[in-house]
Amino acid sequence: MSTESMTKVPLHVSMIMDGNGRWAKERGKERVEGHFAGVESVRACVEAAVENGVKYLSLYAFSEENWNRPQAEVDTLMGLMVKAMANEMDSLDRNGVRFVVLGNRARLADELNATIDSCMERTKDNDVLVLIIFLSYSGKWDILQAAMKMAEDMKDNPGRKEEIVNEGVKAFDRYLVTADIPDPDLIVRTSGESRLSNYLLWQGAYSELLFVDTLWPDFRKDDFRKALESYAKRDRRYGKVK
Ligand code: IPE
Ligand code: IPE
Ligand code: MG
């Protein structure tokens, strides 16, 4: 990349990891084989993010709607989460990756929650890359839980309502599960689908969107670099005239 485009490295890249089932089907395998294969793509993206100076990488791993899939697939996916976290954590920690899981944690099994807590605690001081896994997440759920927390806050503090009104939308950001995380600059969805499927609806208000045909288990470092190149060419105007 040119020096000019190098200055336009996104701070936060987010991936909607889609197409695992179709990848498996193309090979005459069970859908879950696609999920297993997708772990290698996660590894590739983490490495590519670090190599290219991206500071936040977030991955949509399981939506609130995905709970409606056949129980066997849900169970396999949840088991895979535990296994992948256990397998990858040494390497992530060694490489300075802070690991964060965001979503409706109340719906996750105790074993998974315990694994998540220990991985988050272990890596909390790392600062090379923040890797965020959105698990049991949906944008509408996030906005609803934020609204409920805000209402609770206003009930207890009469002065709080005025503060929120004065501060505007920024005040609401702090109630979302992403309170400490900058909004995604770039959201990439694999597998040729051009939709957000209830992902980061609030936070993605001004994200650049990129839809690629590659199925998630085929996504590699080169694809990640190409996504960064596409981003570098974008002109973000935020409603202003440039
Ligand atoms: C993405 O792949 C993984 C999850 C949503 C959990 P899919 O399982 O949605 O694969 P396709 O879209 O059916 O091919
Ligand atoms: C979106 O993929 C959710 C994740 C990638 C985790 P889906 O495969 O669930 O989305 P739809 O059903 O095609 O919209
Ligand atoms: Mg899908």
Q: What is the CATH number of the domain that holds 81?
A: 3.40.1180.10
Residue 151 counted as domain residue: no
Spell out the alpha helix ranges (H) of 57-189.
71-94, 110-122, 139-156, 158-167, 169-173
CB 40 within 8 A of CB 84: no
Measured in angstroms, how far is the CA atom of residue 50 from the centroid of ligand 2? 26
128 occurs within a structural domain: yes
Residues with CB under 5 A from ligand 3 (ion): 18
Residue 4 CA to ligand 1 center (angstroms) comes to 36
Does residue 25 belong to any structural domain of this protein?
yes
Cα–Cα distance for residue pair 224/41, rounded to 1 Å: 10
Give 194-212 pLDDT, tens digit per residue. Answer: 999 999 999 999 999 999 9
Number of structural domains found in the chain: 1
Mutate to test the pocket of ligand 2, among 193, 198, 212 (most ligand atoms within 8 A of CB): 193
Alpha carbon distance 8, 10 (integer Å) = 6
Q: Does residue 5 carry a pLDDT above 70?
A: no
Mean pLDDT score of the chain, rounded to an integer?
96
In a domain, 153, yes or no: no
Q: Whole-prediction pTM value?
A: 0.96
Interatomic CA distance for residues 129 and 107, integer angstroms: 27
- Longest CA–CA separation in the chain, Å: 61
Identify which of 15, 20, 68, 80 to mutate to test ligand 1's pocket (most ligand atoms within 8 A of the CB).
Answer: 20
In a domain, 199, yes or no: yes
pLDDT tens, residue by residue, 153-189? 999 788 998 999 999 999 999 999 999 999 999 999 9
Ligand 1 close to Cβ of residue 19 (< 6 A): yes
Residue type, 6: M
Amino acid at 238: Y
> Among the options 18, 142, 183, 185, which is catalytic?
18
CA gap 122, 98 in Å, rounded: 9
Q: Judge whether 157 lies within some domain.
A: no
Query: The domain containing residue 91 runs over which residues?
Result: 3-138+184-232
From CA 200, how far away is CA 10, in angstroms rounded? 17
Q: Is residue 96 one of the residues assigned to a domain?
A: yes
